[in-house]
Chains A and B, each alone.
Chain A
Amino acid sequence: MKNWLSPKSMTGIALIAIALIVLPHVVGMGGQAWVRILNFAILYVFLALGLNIVVGFAGLLDLGYIAFYAVGAYCWALLASPHFGLHFPVWAILPIGALMACVFGVLLGSPTLKLRGDYLAIVTLGFGEIIRIFLNNLNSPVNITNGPQGITLIDPVKIGDFSFAGTSQVFGMTMTGPEKYYYLLVALALLVIIINVRLQHSRIGRAWQAIREDEIAAKAVGINTRNIKLLAFAMGASFGGIAGGIFSAMQGFVSPESFSLIESIMVLAMVVLGGMGHIPGVILGAVLLTFLPEVLRYAVTPVQMALFGKILVDPESLRMLVFGLALVLVMRFKPAGLWPSPERSRELSEKPVEAVK
């Protein structure tokens, strides 16, 4: 952090910036679908970073994280669609979505704080399902969420008169909807990353880590573990809420189906596979796990055709099989994640000094 203004790191930053600017156009050569996947990768970076606060920093296993994403998404959908006839501006909905998710985070957190490990995981898992089932059934007697049909015609992100949906001219360049969203997402992602890094190296971040390491010792040095854990839940949830809002706007459609358990597990897998508690690792995990299944989707059929001349295995099931195998292999050979924090990799390579009992 100290010498990030040195010429060497400046060059690095410049290169990354250029890469980020050019990326959607390179990826877009394969079709706009790839730009959309890229956008999803960034949304998952948001989610993974949010969950990383809860799981990676504070060490609280949360299997229902996607519920906060759902809360954010439905917040946007209800406040900016013909469903209720409301069309709030972005600067109002995103904070409301974040705040709502935050409230739900506290709601989940407060009764579960005494639980740890497996028990907490089960409760959060239940919470995630409850939210999904609520969304699915809140269409009668009063129609709030429109049930399984979901909400359609959701407003895109609009800043003033500038809409992020559809192709338009930006600074004399023709840009497609996904490309515009990409730049918005990258800008937000940078913000989220900066906030995460700052949180990690703050008084609060240290308190989270302390609780993860030893809760009793954390209490003994005066950390109010209940409040600090709630804070982790609330912060993680807020990031989920923001990601959900943008998801809603980008898709123009939400339904409870998008928030199933497997999504929670995917986000958790991103955090664990990337390197729990290590921000660059978590980002890598999110990007990889978004792209890998998609790349496999396109690769599985041609590869089978080339090898056997016919399709032996259904591409969809083979895709998940290969994906699952990849996860197992990573965990077998890189148990701390693909890009763990320097401390954690040291931890796994060095033997700790045995404490005398």
Chain B
Amino acid sequence: MSNILLQANAVAKHFGGVKALRDVSLSIRRGEVYGLIGPNGAGKTTFFNCMTGLYIPDGGGFTFDGVTLQADAPHRAAELGIARTFQNIRLFGNMTALENVMVGRHVRTKAGVFGAMFLNRATRDEEAAIRQRAVELLHYVDIADRADDLAKNLSYGDQRRLEIARALATEPKLLCLDEPAAGMNATETEELRVLIEGIRKDGTTVLLIEHDVKLVMGLCDRVAVLDYGALVIEDVPAVVQKDQRVIEAYLGA
């Protein structure tokens, strides 16, 4: 088993004349929290979308856990073990928090139409297991008391947590969080940091896109910086923080 979980090879993506990603290559190691930072419009979310199959890259590709990721097959990416959250929270608003997490179990379960119709033993057992796991995950992200509320009626912070719980329900090897701390106050950010630490401790690799530099530097084992779609540097936080190009990209020299 290779130490590298995800390898991006010269990934390129352009929208018309805008080069959103210019041959970005980076590698994420098993068990680490990997930060991806960069100014607005640097291509972070585009990178995410290419990786999870929502966009088809114009060049390059990804190898995940020894398998080449197929472009334009988001459900395949989830099957292989990549789960993600969205920058602008995408929950199933009119379903309860519990149901949202239960949907997350879809990819790891298999009851079909006939199972549902005849409700045989296997289907009932599976359904019970789905529910139990979903409840556990709601406890894990600490929103179990909101289980029966509609997702859209949860507070902003709880919605973020619910999205993470739903992503974890797919049993990911790599959990990708797209700006999870956006719009959070200091306390909520700190709680989030603890949560992500916990997820790493439980053996899931985390890819974190974030604006909050303090959070990233405190949490990540390694950090990559994107600017204008190109990779500036990929290294441990201590080195990245001191890098002249990073300071320029962020502060505009």
A residues neighboring B (CB under 8 Å): 195, 198-199, 202-207, 209-210, 213-214, 216-225, 231, 235, 343-344, 346-347, 350, 352-353, 355-357
**Binary interface profile of B, 147-179, with partner A (CB < 8 Å = 1, else 0)?**
000101111100100000011011000000000
Specify which chain A residues have a CB less than 8 angstroms from the CB of B169 in the assembled complex: 221
Question: Shortest distance in angstroms between A339's beta carbon and chain B's nearest beta carbon?
Answer: 17
Closest B residue to A351 by beta carbon equals B153
Complex CA gap A353/B150 in Å reads: 11
> B104 and A221: CB pair below 8 A?
yes
> A217 and B52: CB pair below 8 A?
no
Question: Shortest distance in angstroms between A345's beta carbon and chain B's nearest beta carbon?
Answer: 11
> Could you pull out 29 A-B pairs where Cβ atoms are within 8 angstroms?
A198-B116, A198-B117, A202-B111, A203-B106, A203-B111, A203-B115, A203-B127, A204-B112, A204-B113, A206-B103, A207-B103, A207-B106, A209-B95, A213-B92, A214-B90, A214-B91, A216-B86, A217-B86, A217-B90, A219-B53, A221-B104, A222-B75, A222-B106, A223-B75, A343-B150, A353-B152, A353-B155, A355-B156, A356-B156
Listed stretches B16-24, B57-65, B76-84, B228-236; interface member:
B76-84
> B107 and A221: CB pair below 8 A?
yes
In addition to A207-B106, A221-B83, 17 A-B residue pairs with Cβ atoms within 8 Å of each other are A202-B111, A202-B116, A203-B116, A203-B127, A204-B112, A206-B106, A217-B86, A217-B92, A220-B52, A221-B106, A221-B107, A231-B113, A352-B93, A352-B153, A353-B152, A353-B159, A356-B183
Q: Check if B119 is an interface residue, CB within 8 A of chain A.
A: yes
Q: Check if B132 is an interface residue, CB within 8 A of chain A.
A: no
Q: Check if B217 is an interface residue, CB within 8 A of chain A.
A: no
Specify which chain B residues have a CB less than 8 angstroms from the CB of A222 in the assembled complex: 74-75, 77-79, 106-107, 170
> A353 and B156: CB pair below 8 A?
yes
In this complex, the interface size class of chain B, counting residues with CB under 8 Å from chain A, is 35 or more
Complex CA gap A222/B126 in Å reads: 18
Complex CA gap A209/B94 in Å reads: 9
Given A219-B74, A224-B75, A353-B156: A214 in contact with B92 (beta carbons within 8 A): yes
> A217 and B94: CB pair below 8 A?
no
> B112 and A220: CB pair below 8 A?
no
Q: Check if B99 is an interface residue, CB within 8 A of chain A.
A: yes
Complex CA gap A286/B20 in Å reads: 52
Q: Check if B192 is an interface residue, CB within 8 A of chain A.
A: no
B residues neighboring A (CB under 8 Å): 52-54, 74-75, 77-79, 83-84, 86, 88-96, 99, 102-107, 109-113, 115-117, 119, 123, 126-127, 130, 150, 152-156, 159, 166-167, 169-170, 182-183
Question: Shortest distance in angstroms between A205's beta carbon and chain B's nearest beta carbon?
Answer: 7
Question: Shortest distance in angstroms between B62's beta carbon and chain A's nearest beta carbon?
Answer: 16
Given A195-B117, A221-B78, A346-B150: A203 in contact with B130 (beta carbons within 8 A): yes
Complex CA gap A206/B113 in Å reads: 12
Question: Shortest distance in angstroms between A236's beta carbon and chain B's nearest beta carbon?
Answer: 12
Question: Shortest distance in angstroms between B53's beta carbon and chain A's nearest beta carbon?
Answer: 8
Complex CA gap A206/B103 in Å reads: 6
The 9 closest A-B pairs by CB, nearest first: A222-B107, A222-B78, A202-B116, A213-B92, A219-B74, A217-B90, A356-B183, A352-B152, A224-B75
Complex CA gap A235/B164 in Å reads: 32
> A221 and B170: CB pair below 8 A?
yes
Complex CA gap A224/B70 in Å reads: 14
> B54 and A219: CB pair below 8 A?
yes
Complex CA gap A210/B101 in Å reads: 11
> A353 and B116: CB pair below 8 A?
no
> B156 and A206: CB pair below 8 A?
no
Given A204-B111, A218-B103: A210 in contact with B170 (beta carbons within 8 A): no
> B75 and A235: CB pair below 8 A?
no
Specify which chain B residues have a CB less than 8 angstroms from the CB of A205 in the assembled complex: 116
Given A206-B102, A210-B92, A214-B92: A199 in contact with B116 (beta carbons within 8 A): yes
> B113 and A199: CB pair below 8 A?
yes
> A355 and B78: CB pair below 8 A?
no
Closest A residue to B113 by beta carbon equals A204
Complex CA gap A80/B138 in Å reads: 55
Specify which chain A residues have a CB less than 8 angstroms from the CB of B183 in the assembled complex: 356
Specify which chain B residues have a CB less than 8 angstroms from the CB of A356 in the assembled complex: 156, 182-183
Specify which chain B residues have a CB less than 8 angstroms from the CB of A344 in the assembled complex: 94
Given A202-B116, A203-B116, A224-B75: A217 in contact with B91 (beta carbons within 8 A): yes
Closest A residue to B118 by beta carbon equals A198
> B104 and A355: CB pair below 8 A?
no
Question: Shortest distance in angstroms between A7's beta carbon and chain B's nearest beta carbon?
Answer: 24
Given A209-B95, A347-B150, A355-B88: A219 in contact with B103 (beta carbons within 8 A): no
Complex CA gap A203/B90 in Å reads: 20
Question: Shortest distance in angstroms between B43's beta carbon and chain A's nearest beta carbon?
Answer: 19
Question: Shortest distance in angstroms between A59's beta carbon and chain B's nearest beta carbon?
Answer: 10
> B115 and A347: CB pair below 8 A?
no
Specify which chain A residues have a CB less than 8 angstroms from the CB of B91 in the assembled complex: 213-214, 217
Specify which chain A residues have a CB less than 8 angstroms from the CB of B96 in the assembled complex: 343
Question: Shortest distance in angstroms between A255's beta carbon and chain B's nearest beta carbon?
Answer: 33
